[in-house]
Each structure stands twice: as structure tokens, then as C-alpha cells.
């Protein structure tokens, strides 16, 4: 059966609402409007305004309200329309959601799920094209997940909700319309996955760039280069073991990340490989990230700013001995 | 400023309120002293001068109600019933502290009394309080969430966002604004175009009260009415307690932004001595009674210091404990 990523997220949410009366949704335009990415269309009618709460444009307050509701025994799923607006809620995410458990000496856990769209590629210009999941992955106390596949979009919500600590879910905007065969959902929020096996180089990525990376791996295969593709899935805590095992096998790594290069998640992954697998490497770890510019509006400039399959192919070829 | 109306209590009830204020005062005086000895480090924000607010309002709450406070919360914690020993141990950063020493002065937490901090970001507690009330509302539990914050928080966007949300969704939050006139060193009329804070709350359709926060009798009476209002109607209420802090903002603050004369003038209305005087004048208490009470409180403080001194340090191996919930 073929479904879209949007439908997979939607099924996961409906499932959560059906199974647990403590679960409710809160966010901008999720109810009457149906969700800015149409994920929650029809939910208001199905579950009612108590559980499908349209909020005012008050990101800081409704995210903080989610923290409080989680403390109070509910299982809120807060939708911050996009990562771009999450900056308005950053204080509550960082200073309350993430810190509360440690700061209270373990007395208060915050079982809160925050969903948001992330990433560029729709010509939405600089303020609407951020990829800041790497920033969030900097913060101890929260978990960061980035479902890139239909299975993960369907499967990662339930364990996120079951987790006693805050989990932030980043859904790449370009994925909502992606169609795919729906199989059994993958259910953990702890492990990276090998999405394509290979022998010559390991490509490590997550979220929206997974598909560009797989495209690059396909192109490399045509040139006789066998690339293994790792989907991180969970950006905090990182599953080092899975990508290290692959890097030890292929002895080369390229990290692909839509975040800006400086201080990026790619930098973190690269450092971990260097720290733990330095002597297994045949070449320095390479990175393909976004150019360090605000993402521009015109299509050709936007494309030039973002990681693309040809850039990934070129980065891989630069690591391999000339044939 | 102090109403001077007769204290409408029996002796026992009056002494309870006095005791709350005295416990806060003596505890914090000791904290200031310990800070000088470097036993307590970091930021230390004293509540001295404002005791009538916590002492008068918090006993009105039911045990099942929730509290969200600020970084100036020692008084609230004490009145709420967090043991002075655990509180002092927290000031020291000891393992026996109510937050295992992890939080210190600004991050007092206690699950047993539903005390949700202790928040060191101005306004940071407001939306959390709204969420706690939302959880009650959705679960059909009729409780009150009391949210204390200073008038400085009113300048934050999150104040307005939270008030709106509480009013929009009719949530049982009692917003307790402790207006001590200064946001650190900035006096309210230098930072607010509208200095009548009740007007701001009223703009969200939230009913408001204005109370003399230096008078524990006035606070107590207002809190009774306010808590009952929120509990019965299950909708928000905003109370401005007009008060004044006698000490500097924190131990780092040289307090150069206000007249010594102004501070002295407010001290004339100090909540502790005015209430004591009234009790004596009405024959509800003698000087001996006061001395006996003060002696008991000082002994409790001394015991808390001893407890904290004897407390242990969290082992470094436990540094990363409780970043996440253990599986």
C-alpha cells in the first residue's frame, strides 16, 4: 500500500489520540484550518476542540503550556508550525523542558513531544528555510529525532510519546508529499539505520538529505563506487556505534547535513569519527553542508546553497584514490 | 499604607501568620550571613520586606494546588511546607537539598507539595502555570495553580501570551504579581508606559485585585477571596500585591539606583514589625510571646544550618544523573 509521509504522520497522531486519552494536540492552525501542512485535517471534527487546540500565535506560551500540561499528567503533542518559529519558544524548550529534570534533582520529568517542520527547498527565502535541528541537538535533557522515511514518520511518534523526557520531532518540509510503500513501522528512537549497504565509503545523513544522499549513492554505484548510507534518525543522543561500525568497514566517511557547516551536527559526527575511529580512516572525514549564507529566494541560488547529490558525489570522489 | 484595621484573627491564627513571616526573615538573614562566609554561592535574591505576600497568600492554598514561583522563592517554599532543613541544604548545594543540591537558591522544587520552582528566567514560570492548570482542566480535577512573579515579568512578551491563553481557555490560574517597583534596578515608571498593572491584566478580560502587600492581614483576606474565586469559577484572576524589597536585588547589587530615604520610608511599613505592633496593641501577643516565637524560629534556622553543614556532596559520578529519566 502506498501512502504519503503526511499520511504516515497523520496516522501516527490519530493512533496516539485514540490509544491514550492523555494525548492532545496544541498548535497554530492545527484545528479549523487543518494544519499548515494539512497533517491534522479533520482532527478537530474527529477529536473535538478540547484535544485539538488551536492556539494564538504565541509560541513561547503554548510551548511552555505544553511543559506545564506534561508536568500535570497530560501527554501533549505541541506543533510549532516550523522550526523558524520555534526560536520564539526557545526559552521554554531550553530552560524549562530540557533542564527541569536535572535541575529538580530528578523530581520532575517532562513527557512532552514537540513537532515541527524543518528545512529548505520550497523557495520560502531566508526566514522560512532554516535547518536548526543541529542547534537543538546541542541541548542535554531533550531528545531530537528526524524521521526521514514513511516507516519512521509512522513509527517514531509512539516511542517519542512513551518517553518520559521531552522529544523534539523534525519533519523535513519536502518529505510531506513523498509517497512510498508502507511497511511495518520502525519503532525505536535510539538507533541509526543503514539505508543502503556499501563497501567503499560511508555517507552519514538524516532527514530531508537522506534522499539526496541515496540519489548520490546510486550515481556513485554507476561509477563503480559502493557507498553505504546511514540514516541517523536520532540526532540526540547520537548512535555512534552504528556509524562507527560502518566507517571502520569502509574507512571513509562523508557527512551530509542541511545545517550550516560551522558548528553543525555534521561537525559533531565528524569529530566523533575522528575521536573514535581515527586509525581506521584512509582519508579525512568530509562534509557536505549548506553554504554559509541565508537561504536565498531564487531557485538556482537556493539549490546552490543546499547540499545536492552532485556535491555529495564530488565529495566522495575527492576522498577516493584517482582511478 | 498599612491599613491599621484591627487584626481579625484569634491569637493562634495570628501567630501562624507571624511565624511564617518570621521564619522567612530569619532564614534569609542567616542566608545573607552565610553568603558572606561563602557557604552559599551563586546568586542569592532575598525576599526580605516582601514576606507578607507569601506568608498571607500561600497558606490559603490547598495541599493539592500547585505553585510556580521565581528565583526569589525561599519564602514561598518555606510557607508552602518545604522543610527548612532541605531548603538550607539546597542553598548549600548539598545532596540533602530539596533539589539534591542541583538547583541552589533559584531552583527550589518539591514534588510532594507541588512546588514547581524556582525559575531564574523572568516570566519563565507563567506559561508552565497555564499548562498545569490546563492539565487539571482537561482531567476534570478542580485545583488552583498559583503563579507568583514580579512586576518585571509584565514587560516580557510571555506575560501577555500567558495571560491571554489562560483567559481564552478559562483556566484556574491565580496570577500573583509581586510588585516591588524595581526590576533589578529599573523602577517601574522607567520601564512601563502603563504603570497600573491591573489595567494590563484587565485587557485580557481577567478580573483583577490590588492589595497592600506590606500588610499580611490584607494579603490573607485578599488571597482567601482570590483563591476561592479561581477555585469556584475555574478561571483566572490577577492580583497585584504592592510590596517592596528592603535588600538589594541580589548579593551582587550595590543598590545605587534608589534613595536610601525611599528604602527607609518603606521600612516604616515593614510587614513584620507593623504586624507585631498591631498584635501587641490588640493584646493578642506580648513581647514575651514574640521573643519565645523568635527563639523557636532562630533555633529552627540554627538546626537547618547544622543539617546543611553535615550534609553530603553529590558524588561526581552522579554528575549526569537525571539529565534523562533512567530506562
> Which residues of chain B carry a pLDDT beneath 50?
1-2
Q: What is the Cα–Cα distance from B279 to B209, expressed in whole angstroms?
A: 26
Looking at A120, A148, A181, the residue that finishes a domain is A181
Residue A287 lies in a domain: yes
- Tell me what the pLDDT averaged over chain B comes to: 96
Stated length of chain A: 323
Measured from the Cβ of residue B23, the count of other Cβ atoms closer than 10 Å reads: 24
Distance from CA of A96 to the nearest CA of B (A): 8
Residues of A belonging to the active site: 59, 128
Put simply, the answer to whether B133 touches A68 (Cβ < 8 Å) is: yes
* Nearest in space to B90 (alpha carbons), one of B76, B71, B107: B107
**pTM for this model (two decimals):** 0.96
What is the Cα–Cα distance from B14 to B281, expressed in whole angstroms? 13
Return the pLDDT at B300: 98
Q: Indicate whether B219 belongs to any domain.
A: yes
Residue A77 lies in a domain: yes
HEC sequence for B47-66: CCCCHHHHHHHHHHCCCCCE
Same domain, A128 and A243: no
Residue of B nearest to A58 (CA): B161
Min CA distance, B233 vs chain A (Å)? Answer: 18
A276 shares its domain with A209: yes
Instruction: Say if B318 falls within a structural domain.
Output: no
The 3-state DSSP class for residue B137 equals helix
Using an 8 Å CB-CB cutoff, list chain B residues near A66: 131
Task: Report CB contact under 8 Å: B161, A165.
Answer: no
The CA distance from B271 to A4, in Å, is 65
Query: Domain range spanning residue A288?
Result: 193-319
The residues in B 206-265 lying below 8 A from A, measured between CB atoms, are: none
Q: Do A56 and B165 touch (CB under 8 A)?
A: yes
Of A61, A101, A141, the CB nearest to B165: A61
Question: Is A160 in the same domain as A42?
Answer: yes
What sign for the dihedral angle of Cα B103, B107, B112, B114? negative
Distance from CA of A68 to the nearest CA of B (A): 4
Q: How many domains does chain B have?
A: 1
d(CA B311, CA B292): 28
CB A217 within 8 A of CB A203: yes
Per the structure, how many domains does chain A have? 2
Q: What pLDDT is stored for residue A173 in this prediction?
A: 97
With an 8 Å Cβ cutoff, are A66 and B132 in contact?
no
How is residue B180 annotated by DSSP?
A: -
Domain-embedded: residue A187 = no
Task: Tell me, yes or no, if B170 comes closer than 8 A to chain A by beta carbon.
Answer: no
Does B172 lie at the interface with A, CB-CB under 8 angstroms?
no
Contact (CB<8Å) A67/B158: no
Contacts of B164 in chain A (CB under 8 A): 56, 58, 61
Cβ neighbors of A18 (< 8 A, separation 6 or more) are none
Cell of B34: 552565610
- The tally of CA atoms less than 13 A away on the side-chain side of residue B143 is 22
Distance from CA of A170 to the nearest CA of B (A): 20
Grid cell at residue B192: 512601563
The domain that holds B32 is classified in CATH as 3.40.50.970
Question: φ, ψ for residue B241 (rounded to 5)?
Answer: -100, 115
Could you give the angle at the alpha carbon of A285 between the alpha carbons of A168 and A302, nearest 5°? 60
Q: Which of helix, strand or coil describes residue A149?
A: coil
Residue-level pLDDT at B3: 52
* Interface with chain B: mutation pick from A61, A93, A109, highest number of B CBs within 10 Å: A61
Q: Which of residues 90-119 of B touch A (CB under 8 A)?
A: 97-103, 107, 109-111, 116-119
Within a domain: residue A188?
no
Q: Mapped to the 3 state alphabet, what secondary structure does A73-127 carry? A: CCEEEEEEEEHHHHHHHHHHHHHHHHCHHHHCCCCCCCCCEEEEEECCCCCCCHH
Is the CB of A70 less than 8 angstroms away from the CB of B132? no
Residue B259 forms part of a structural domain: yes
In angstroms, how far apart are the furthest CA atoms of chain B?
Answer: 61
The answer to whether B134 contacts A105, with C-beta atoms less than 8 Å apart, is no
User: Starting from the edge strand earliest in sequence, which strands make up the sheet with B115-116, in order?
Assistant: B109-110, B115-116, B66-68, B145-150, B173-179, B237-242, B208-212
In chain A, the residue whose alpha carbon lies closest to the alpha carbon of B128 is A68
Task: Check whether residue A159 and residue A40 sit in a common domain.
Answer: yes
Q: Please judge whether A71 and B131 are an interchain contact, meaning their C-beta atoms are less than 8 angstroms apart.
A: yes
> What is the distance in angstroms between the Cα of B242 and the nearest Cα belonging to chain A?
26
- Domain range for B71 is 11-311
CB contact under 8 A, A96 and B158: no
Domain annotation covers residue B138: yes
Same domain membership, residue A151 and residue A288: no
How do the pLDDT tens digits run along chain A, 323 residues long?
899 999 999 999 999 999 999 999 999 999 999 999 999 999 999 999 999 999 999 999 999 999 999 999 999 999 999 999 999 999 999 999 999 999 999 999 999 999 999 999 999 999 999 999 999 999 999 999 999 999 999 999 999 999 999 999 999 999 999 999 888 777 899 999 999 999 999 999 999 999 999 999 999 999 999 999 999 999 999 999 999 999 999 999 999 999 999 999 999 999 999 999 999 999 999 999 999 999 999 999 999 999 999 999 999 999 998 76
Contact B99/A104, CB-based, under 8 Å?
yes
Q: Residue A304 belongs to what H/E stretch?
A: helix A299-305
| Contacts with A, B 40-79, CB within 8 Å | 66, 68
C-alpha grid cell for residue B115? 512546588
A81 with A206, same domain: the answer is no
> Is the minimum CB–CB distance between B89 and chain A shorter than 8 Å?
no
Q: How many CB pairs below 8 A link A and B? A: 149
Please indicate, yes or no, whether residues A138 and A211 belong to a single structural domain of this protein.
no
ipTM of the complex: 0.96
Q: Cβ of A64 and B127 within 8 Å?
A: yes
Grid coordinates of A60: 513561547
User: What is the per-residue pLDDT across B4-55, written as a single tens digit (0 to 9) for each?
Assistant: 678 888 999 999 999 999 999 999 999 999 999 999 999 999 999 999 999 9
Q: Which residue of B has its CA nearest to A111?
A: B325
Assign B313 to helix, strand or coil: coil
If you ran DSSP here, which 8-state letter would residue B214 be given?
T
| Distance (Å, whole) CA A1 – CA B205 | 51
Q: Is residue B44 part of a domain?
A: yes
Write the CATH number for A252. Answer: 3.40.50.920
Q: Among A181, A211, A227, where does a domain finish?
A: A181
Residues A222 and A146 in one domain: no
Contact A110, A67 (CB under 8 A): yes
How confident is the model at residue B1, as a pLDDT?
A: 42
Instruction: Choose among A26, A16, A4: nearest CA to A156.
Output: A16
Of A56, A64, A91, which is closest to B131 when you measure between CB atoms?
A: A64
Domain with residue A148: its CATH number is 3.40.50.970
> Does residue A230 share a domain with residue A83?
no
Residue A98 lies in a domain: yes
Q: A186 lies in a domain?
A: no
pLDDT of residue A301: 97
CB-neighbour burial class of residue A308 (10 A; exposed 0-12, middle 13-18, buried 19+): middle
Amino acid at each position: 500500500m502506498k501512502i504519503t509521509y503526511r499520511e504516515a504522520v497523520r496516522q501516527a497522531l490519530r493512533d496516539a489520540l485514540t490509544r491514550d486519552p492523555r494525548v492532545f494536540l496544541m498548535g497554530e492552525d492545527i484545528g479549523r484550518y487543518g494544519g499548515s501542512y494539512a497533517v491534522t485535517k479533520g482532527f478537530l471534527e474527529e477529536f473535538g476542540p478540547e484535544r485539538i487546540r488551536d492556539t494564538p500565535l504565541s509560541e513561547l506560551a503554548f510551548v511552555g503550556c505544553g511543559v506545564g500540561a506534561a508536568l500535570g499528567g497530560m501527554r501533549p503533542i505541541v506543533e510549532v508550525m516550523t522550526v523558524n518559529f520555534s526560536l520564539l519558544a526557545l526559552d521554554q524548550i531550553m530552560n524549562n523542558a530540557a533542564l527541569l529534570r536535572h535541575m529538580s534533582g530528578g523530581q520532575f520529568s517532562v513527557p512532552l513531544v514537540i513537532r515541527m517542520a524543518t528545512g529548505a527547498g520550497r523557495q520560502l527565502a531566508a526566514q522560512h528555510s532554516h535547518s536548526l535541528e543541529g542547534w537543538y541537538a546541542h541541548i542535554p535533557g531533550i531528545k531530537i529525532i528526524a524521521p526521514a522515511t514513511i516507516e519512521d514518520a509512522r513509527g517514531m511518534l509512539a516511542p517519542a510519546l512513551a518517553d518520559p523526557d521531552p522529544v523534539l520531532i523534525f519533519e523535513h518540509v519536502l518529505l510531506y508529499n513523498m509517497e512510498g510503500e508502507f511497511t511495518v513501522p520502525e519503532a525505536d528512537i535510539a538507533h541509526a539505520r543503514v539505508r543502503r549497504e556499501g563497501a567503499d565509503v560511508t555517507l552519514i545523513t538524516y532527514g530531508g538529505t537522506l534522499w539526496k544522499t541515496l540519489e548520490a549513492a546510486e550515481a556513485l554505484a554507476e561509477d563503480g563506487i559502493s557507498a553505504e548510507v546511514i540514516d541517523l534518525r536520532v540526532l540526540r543522543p547520537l548512535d555512534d556505534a552504528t556509524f562507527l561500525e560502518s566507517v571502520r568497514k569502509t574507512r571513509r566517511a562523508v557527512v551530509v547535513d542541511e545545517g550550516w557547516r560551522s558548528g553543525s551536527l555534521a561537525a559533531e559526527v565528524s569529530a566523533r569519527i575522528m575521536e573514535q575511529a581515527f586509525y581506521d580512516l584512509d582519508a579525512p572525514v568530509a562534509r557536505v553542508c549548506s553554504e554559509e549564507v541565508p537561504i536565498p529566494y531564487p531557485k538556482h541560488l537556493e539549490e546552490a546553497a543546499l547540499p545536492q547529490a552532485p556535491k555529495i558525489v564530488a565529495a566522495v570522489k575527492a576522498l577516493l584514490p584517482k582511478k | 499604607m498599612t491599613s491599621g484595621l484591627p487584626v481579625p484573627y484569634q491569637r493562634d491564627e495570628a501567630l501562624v501568620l507571624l511565624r511564617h513571616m518570621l521564619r522567612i526573615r530569619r532564614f534569609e538573614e542567616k542566608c545573607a550571613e552565610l553568603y558572606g562566609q561563602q557557604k552559599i554561592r551563586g546568586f542569592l535574591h532575598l525576599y526580605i520586606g516582601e514576606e507578607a505576600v507569601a506568608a498571607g497568600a500561600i497558606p490559603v492554598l490547598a495541599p493539592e494546588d500547585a505553585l510556580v514561583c521565581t528565583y526569589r522563592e525561599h519564602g514561598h517554599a518555606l510557607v508552602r511546607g518545604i522543610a527548612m532543613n532541605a531548603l538550607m541544604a539546597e542553598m548549600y548545594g548539598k545532596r540533602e537539598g530539596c533539589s539534591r543540591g542541583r538547583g541552589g537558591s533559584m531552583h527550589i522544587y518539591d514534588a510532594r507539595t507541588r512546588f514547581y520552582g524556582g525559575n531564574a528566567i523572568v516570566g519563565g514560570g507563567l506559561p508552565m502555570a497555564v499548562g498545569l492548570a490546563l492539565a487539571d482542566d482537561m482531567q476534570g480535577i478542580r485545583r488552583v495553580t498559583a503563579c507568583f512573579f514580579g512586576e518585571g515579568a509584565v514587560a516580557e512578551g510571555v506575560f501577555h501570551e500567558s495571560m491571554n491563553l489562560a483567559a481564552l481557555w478559562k483556566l484556574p490560574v491565580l496570577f500573583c504579581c509581586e510588585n516591588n517597583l524595581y526590576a533589578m534596578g529599573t523602577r517601574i515608571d522607567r520601564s512601563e508606559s502603563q504603570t497600573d498593572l491591573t489595567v494590563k491584566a484587565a485587557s485580557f478580560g481577567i478580573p483583577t485585585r490590588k492589595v497592600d502587600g506590606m500588610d499580611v492581614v490584607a494579603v490573607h483576606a485578599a488571597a482567601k477571596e482570590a483563591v476561592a474565586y479561581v477555585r469556584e469559577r475555574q478561571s483566572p484572576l490577577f492580583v497585584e500585591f504592592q510590596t517592596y524589597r528592603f535588600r538589594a536585588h541580589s548579593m551582587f547589587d550595590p543598590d545605587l539606583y534608589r534613595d536610601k530615604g525611599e528604602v527607609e520610608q518603606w521600612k516604616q511599613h515593614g510587614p513584620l514589625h507593623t504586624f507585631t505592633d498591631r498584635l501587641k496593641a490588640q493584646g493578642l501577643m506580648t513581647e514575651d510571646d514574640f521573643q519565645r516565637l523568635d527563639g523557636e524560629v532562630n533555633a529552627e534556622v540554627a538546626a537547618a544550618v547544622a543539617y546543611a553543614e553535615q550534609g553530603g556532596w553529590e558524588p561526581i559520578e552522579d554528575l549526569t544523573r537525571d539529565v534523562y529519566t533512567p530506562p
